Amino acid sequence: MLMNRRKIIKSFTLLPLAGTLIPFKSLFANDVEQLTVAGELPADINIFQSIGVEPIINCRGTFTIIGGSIERPEVRAAMEAASKDFVQYDELADGIGKRLAEITGAEWGMVSAGCAAGMKHVTAACITGGNPEKLIRIPDLTGFEKTEVVIPKSSRNVYDHAIRNTGVKIIEVNTPEELENALNERTAMIYIMSYKESEPGQPLSTENIAKIAKPHKIPILIDAAAEVLTIPNIHLQRGADVVVYSGGKAICGPQCAGLVLGRKDILMSAWQASAPHHGPGRDNKVGREEMMGMLAAVETWTKRDHAAEWKTWLSWLDNIAKKVSGIQGVTTSVFEPTELSNRSPVLNIYWDPAKLNITGEEIAEELVRNKPRIEIGGQTKDGKSSISITTGQMQPGNDLIVAERLYNVLSQKRSPKNTVMAKPAAILSGSWDATIAFFSSTSNHMLFIEQDGNWLKGSHKGDFTVRELTGTIEGDKVKLRSIDRHPADSVTFIFSGTISGDLISGSIYMGEYRTATFTAKRSNFKMKKQEIIVPGGPPLAT
């Protein structure tokens, strides 16, 4: 007989907190043998494997690209309960705002669709002052009084796209004097990323910025996305007006939720600028499930035994350290961070790559690309390689799997690497017309290459900028890299191709933007030789 639909749904609520889910066979008991219909979930694999995706043991931290954090059981229970009834969202937001204020000591609280969405809504609130007539005109700020956001240069980051999306002009400052001079009647807000430059004693600490901003009545927004939650809130105590957290990081709430705390008037306007209301924030919808789940995460945060969690994390690292320390040439150390962001113990494992014939980067790649997949950090610096194991999102039993896998990889005997580069199969010096195919468009770029044996350098002319190009050629294999840099942002192009005659073809690894393909043909473009005449003085005619 076919499995009862209700029983399948009920089974999902039994999924454990472990890093790898228990197999469906153990969930569905006697029903699993009856799974014969095409499209039903196969036995003995977890839910991700059922669609061809291999899960990952997270020893890296709360990175969104691998899922952020594991929601607490209390969070999932609250979300499940919230899914059973309808509610008026403004009433729900008011109830949550009041309860968050009671728990955290902040004046008010709000749940957004992630930390970045919270930043966007707060910016919109500071631009509009809660005026809907202004709100629906964003990002066209023509006629607005408040159109600028001031950001210390040290706080510029990829996430301030959320602020720029409202149409504001960003004003960068480097010193308190520049900050004072930058503030005017157009300044809507000051944004600070919580980092060492904003700590007490720094020139642009939150306290110093607050002293300058308060007389002008300009609100301060703190981005504390990956931080642990402090109660009472340390950022509000230092003079910030609003602080924003990611729900799916240290707090272990819903991945698609953010926590916003601070001044009630600003947060009421920020809620107005978010869904279910129409306007520029409609695309940042947060559901009743995430709202109640985020509230449950904050409630649970105040009851968690954080000291006991820390001891458990240290015990996992100790198990891994003991296992790999038996390998000759391998040493370990544990780092216990005290700062608020990404606060969890880290195990660092060191060795000489010339002796083990493998680097930290290579081990990190080996572990994440092969089963069981394990995400770790890896680097080589000053002739020494290392990998790092971050505990904050490891789950019970992960330490034993990681210890065994690392021991096997690190203790493997490897031959010394051949460091002699293959002779180049071609001379690439000159200009190349490159056609780059993205997912749904193509662009025409140019590569200007100078070759010195196996080494390449030059420039890469993209759609908007020209940037430095570096690379190598070994045999017919060509590797090139360029970085399109912008304030708070960058896009890396890593070309990997094969040269055949006057054509190079291959792929371009673009990090989070995935992979494009390219073909580059030797260009007919030739620089004309022309004598340059330098005038003897100012022009006598035009």
| pLDDT tens profile 344-364 | 999 999 999 999 999 999 999
**Do the Cβ atoms of 340 and 234 come closer than 8 Å?**
yes
Q: How big is the CA angle at 363 (ends 357 and 369), to the nearest 5 degrees?
A: 135
pLDDT value, residue 44: 66
Where are the strands (E) in 364-522, listed by range?
374-375, 377-381, 384-390, 430-437, 442-452, 455-461, 466-474, 477-486, 489-500, 503-509, 515-522
Q: Which of 301, 325, 358 is the last residue of a domain?
A: 301
Q: pLDDT tens-digit profile of 231-263?
A: 999 999 999 999 999 999 999 999 999 999 999
Residue 461 burial (10 A CB sphere; 0-12, 13-18, 19+): middle
221: which strand partners? 191, 242
Residue (of 231, 344, 310, 294) closest to 71 by Cα position: 294
The answer to whether residue 530 is domain-embedded is no
Q: Are residues 112 and 247 in the same domain?
A: yes
Strand 169-173 to 220-223 pairing:
unpaired
pLDDT value, residue 82: 98
> How far is C-alpha 510 from the geometric centre of its chain's CA atoms?
15
Residue 406's CATH number: 3.90.1150.110
Q: Which of 253, 278, 301 is the last residue of a domain?
A: 301
pLDDT value, residue 418: 85
Rg (CA), the chain: 28
pLDDT value, residue 540: 85
Residue 501's CATH number: 2.40.128.120
Q: Are residues 115 and 201 in the same domain?
A: yes
Low-confidence ranges of the chain (pLDDT < 50): 1-38
Q: How many CB atoms lie within 10 A of CB 178?
A: 15
Domain span holding position 384? 308-411
The answer to whether residue 391 is domain-embedded is yes
Continuous segment of H or E residues that includes residue 241: none
Q: Are residues 84 and 202 in the same domain?
A: yes
Strand 148-152 to 187-193 pairing:
parallel
The answer to whether residue 93 is domain-embedded is yes
pLDDT value, residue 528: 81
Domains contained in the chain, number: 4
